[in-house]
A and B are shown apart, each in its own frame.
Chain A
């Protein structure tokens, strides 16, 4: 008797729908066991993790603020991944977007130039991210360089460029030589849209991006092209789709979105350009993209869910003294089960007896 994975003749639609639910149930069971081992009441802890943040306007707003950059970056990445283009460097595009967008805020600091400034900053941020993403795209198209490596390595280059700027030319003259720009003026700040929290206009931009991506993927030729090139490159060639042009296109779009997320974050919740503006958003967004199954609506849900675990984890630290490490274990376990359960879509588990040996 043994267990084997057997390929299904076709994708199981039922499992495709049930798999994420199964993954969540398995995660909750595993986490409950861990909580019991720590001597905490699992029900109370799960309440603090998942329900309590949803009962309070402040934490609800914070979930949206936290999810916003993750979702925006992940939408761009999903276009790449659907087309079989592997942009791993969204973190670098996020930083370069923040840097190019901040340029105007730094040079106009102290001279109140009007609210058009922040709009120009956002456009420049998107351009900066797109141009940074263009480098690995061109390297792949012209020289056949592997975009996984080039895009990833450019993350560290972007990080060091920002580091140089905030320690050198852009450093706050009144900042005691600490590595940060001066705080952005109100005209260079993404406005807060609700009192009593940090919910900013960038969240609306993110929602618009989700809708546009959903329409583009589902209703336009370009969306069709992305899917075909990714799923069946040969068929795409017969159809006359140029895969090189699509590499450039998807990199440009995902770079622009990552860059836009970067400048919104800097001109919104952070308010200055400094090292450490991103707690790894560009990488976490890769998880969000796959957790959302490369589907815009799925990504929105996945981003909100991941943000919920961050905020809930913080609440658990405060009210139940549950260590932060458990929150990280939690996120890891969740991803593990999601991927494991997904294999059930294409494979089934079969119990087979010892087979007679064929001579």
Chain B
């Protein structure tokens, strides 16, 4: 009798185990590779927010995993492979530096679908996606030129890659549309995330007379400095109003959630395809945080600029775009610079007072 009970118990356990396995296998496993810590409150944080939105929307059909702080050197390939080997069917790699490793792993695992953020190499099972963040920068340039009393904007650059350069240029063009004599001072910190360095750069810029700060780095450090100094700043990646309730004018918010949900739904339905997605304000992949701490006329101008960009009546890189030497650059898109010129931007527009590092 005892033996029989034991056997029954074992059978029940085994049954329960297979049932559990089955339900786990039914769920689509979605993996994410993050560059920074999930708590950076910037780039990685916004991917994490989007992952949580994805879980909220499709939680009963999917299971998600993330690996954080994955360096862009020798470790990333292994991290991606680890996700691929543990049954993840859709893998998002969320930084430019993961491009070659993602391409390599995608080749090894042809049945798994990959999505690489901000890159340009694609395959049948590897798509790319990014946001037109420069659209938001243009609006910020307009606001900054309106709000600055000293006529000097402080800009904290991370690395002089096209994404960052096009942000600086869009800011400058937006600012010049209001004040042709506006100045932009740039400090390169050579890091995406280092709150100490970012704060030092912000202080140095404020000391040099900048009264509106902008950053292309991921922490809220510059916002905190602006709040202490009583000057203005813009949030980066996420709404940073709680770090600068009296300082934040607006913020460029990276809104990946809808995209992750859309692509995951496609993977669930078996209709996922490799695509090159580059969405902006219109598609709401780039969203502006509320316009705060500014007079009504500036707010109206900002809202109009945003509406015009969404409607397509205002194009930030409209030809002629003048290079630093004052000569117009080649206009490959007809009336405006084409995607390749923006995605590979390697020149400053007229009025930027800086020499590009490494040039």
Q: Which of A3-11, A316-324, A332-340 contacts B (4 or more CB under 8 A)?
A: A316-324
Q: Which of A163, A177, A270 sits near B74, CB closer than 8 Å?
A: A270
Known: A271-B100, A276-B73, A276-B97. A163 touches B65 (CB 8 A): no
Instruction: Tell me the minimal C-beta distance from A72 to chain B in angstroms.
Output: 14
Query: What's the Cα separation between A219 and B86 when bound, in Å?
Result: 47
Q: Which of B71, B73, B82, B359 sits near A314, CB closer than 8 Å?
A: B82
Contact status B190-A177, CB under 8 Å: no
Which residues in A have their C-beta under 8 angstroms from that of B78?
Answer: 62, 65-66, 198, 311, 314
Known: A167-B358, A177-B161, A179-B159. A318 touches B67 (CB 8 A): yes
Which residues in B have their C-beta under 8 angstroms from that of A47?
Answer: none
Contact status B73-A278, CB under 8 Å: yes
Which residues in B have their C-beta under 8 angstroms from that of A271?
Answer: 100
Q: Which B41-88 residues sit within 8 Å CB-CB of chain A?
A: 65-69, 71-75, 77-79, 81-83, 85-86
Contact status A276-B358, CB under 8 Å: no
B345 located at the interface, meaning its Cβ lies under 8 Å from any Cβ of chain A in the complex: yes
Contact status B161-A179, CB under 8 Å: yes
B96 located at the interface, meaning its Cβ lies under 8 Å from any Cβ of chain A in the complex: yes
What is the size category of the interface that chain B forms with chain A?
35 or more
B160 located at the interface, meaning its Cβ lies under 8 Å from any Cβ of chain A in the complex: yes
Contact status A270-B82, CB under 8 Å: no
A-B contact count (CB 8 A): 84
Which residues in A have their C-beta under 8 angstroms from that of B120?
Answer: 176
Contact with B along A35-69 (1 / 0, CB 8 A): 00000000000000000000000100010011000
Query: What's the Cα separation between A319 and B77 when bound, in Å?
Result: 18
Contact with B along A302-328 (1 / 0, CB 8 A): 000000001100110111010111000
Known: A177-B345, A318-B83. A276 touches B72 (CB 8 A): yes
A178 located at the interface, meaning its Cβ lies under 8 Å from any Cβ of chain B in the complex: yes
Contact status B72-A274, CB under 8 Å: yes
B357 located at the interface, meaning its Cβ lies under 8 Å from any Cβ of chain A in the complex: yes
Query: What's the Cα separation between A227 and B67 when bound, in Å?
Result: 44
Query: What's the Cα separation between A279 and B66 when bound, in Å?
Result: 19
Which residues in A have their C-beta under 8 angstroms from that of B345?
Answer: 177
Which residues in A have their C-beta under 8 angstroms from that of B72?
Answer: 274, 276
Q: Chain A: which residue is nearest B162 at the CB level?
A: A177
A277 located at the interface, meaning its Cβ lies under 8 Å from any Cβ of chain B in the complex: yes
A233 located at the interface, meaning its Cβ lies under 8 Å from any Cβ of chain B in the complex: no
Query: What's the Cα separation between A279 and B346 when bound, in Å?
Result: 28
A224 located at the interface, meaning its Cβ lies under 8 Å from any Cβ of chain B in the complex: no
Contact status A319-B86, CB under 8 Å: yes
Contact with B along A183-209 (1 / 0, CB 8 A): 100000000000000100000000000
Contact status A183-B73, CB under 8 Å: no
Q: Which of A270, A274, A317 sits near B65, CB closer than 8 Å?
A: A317
A147 located at the interface, meaning its Cβ lies under 8 Å from any Cβ of chain B in the complex: no
B209 located at the interface, meaning its Cβ lies under 8 Å from any Cβ of chain A in the complex: no
B298 located at the interface, meaning its Cβ lies under 8 Å from any Cβ of chain A in the complex: no
Query: What's the Cα separation between A269 and B160 when bound, in Å?
Result: 26
Contact with A along B154-180 (1 / 0, CB 8 A): 000001111000000000000000000
Query: What's the Cα separation between A93 and B208 when bound, in Å?
Result: 37
Contact status B162-A279, CB under 8 Å: no
What is the size category of the interface that chain A forms with chain B?
35 or more
Query: What's the Cα separation between A179 and B72 when bound, in Å?
Result: 12
Q: Chain A: which residue is nearest B160 at the CB level?
A: A167
Contact with B along A141-171 (1 / 0, CB 8 A): 0000000000000000000000110011001
Query: What's the Cα separation between A179 and B86 when bound, in Å?
Result: 32
Query: What's the Cα separation between A274 and B72 when bound, in Å?
Result: 9
Which residues in A have their C-beta under 8 angstroms from that of B71?
Answer: 276, 279
Which residues in A have their C-beta under 8 angstroms from that of B294?
Answer: none
B261 located at the interface, meaning its Cβ lies under 8 Å from any Cβ of chain A in the complex: no
B343 located at the interface, meaning its Cβ lies under 8 Å from any Cβ of chain A in the complex: yes
A272 located at the interface, meaning its Cβ lies under 8 Å from any Cβ of chain B in the complex: yes
Which residues in A have their C-beta under 8 angstroms from that of B359?
Answer: 167-168
Instruction: Tell me the minimal C-beta distance from B168 to chain A in angstroms.
Output: 14
Which residues in A have their C-beta under 8 angstroms from that of B344?
Answer: 176-177
Contact status A277-B161, CB under 8 Å: no
A91 located at the interface, meaning its Cβ lies under 8 Å from any Cβ of chain B in the complex: no
Known: A163-B358, A167-B160, A318-B83. A269 touches B346 (CB 8 A): no
Instruction: Tell me the minimal C-beta distance from A332 to chain B in angstroms.
Output: 15
A225 located at the interface, meaning its Cβ lies under 8 Å from any Cβ of chain B in the complex: no
Instruction: Tell me the minimal C-beta distance from A282 to chain B in angstroms.
Output: 13
Q: Which A85-144 residues sit within 8 Å CB-CB of chain B?
A: none
Q: Chain A: which residue is nearest B68 at the CB level?
A: A324
Query: What's the Cα separation between A310 and B66 when bound, in Å?
Result: 16
Which residues in B have their C-beta under 8 angstroms from that of A62?
Answer: 78
Contact status B83-A164, CB under 8 Å: no
Which residues in B have their C-beta under 8 angstroms from that of A278?
Answer: 73
Query: What's the Cα separation between A315 and B78 when bound, in Å?
Result: 11
Contact status B65-A318, CB under 8 Å: yes
Known: A167-B357, A177-B345. A314 touches B190 (CB 8 A): no
Q: Chain A: which residue is nearest B357 at the CB level?
A: A167
Query: What's the Cα separation between A319 and B88 when bound, in Å?
Result: 12
Instruction: Tell me the minimal C-beta distance from A3 to chain B in angstroms.
Output: 38
Contact status A314-B79, CB under 8 Å: yes
Contact with A along B86-98 (1 / 0, CB 8 A): 1000000000110
- Of A178, A265, A277, A319, chain B has the most CB atoms within 10 Å of the CB of A178
- Apart from A269-B74, A324-B67: 5 A-B pairs, beta carbons within 8 A: A168-B358, A178-B161, A198-B77, A272-B100, A310-B75
Chain B residues close to A by CB (< 8 Å): 37, 65-69, 71-75, 77-79, 81-83, 85-86, 96-97, 100, 120, 159-162, 190, 343-346, 357-359
Chain A residues close to B by CB (< 8 Å): 58, 62, 65-66, 163-164, 167-168, 171, 176-179, 183, 198, 265, 269-272, 274-279, 310-311, 314-315, 317-319, 321, 323-325
List 10 tightest A-B contacts by C-beta distance, closest first. A167-B358, A176-B344, A269-B74, A279-B71, A177-B346, A168-B358, A276-B72, A277-B73, A276-B73, A270-B74
A-B contact pairs, 11 of them (CB 8 A): A167-B357, A167-B358, A177-B345, A269-B77, A275-B159, A276-B71, A276-B72, A276-B73, A277-B74, A279-B75, A318-B67
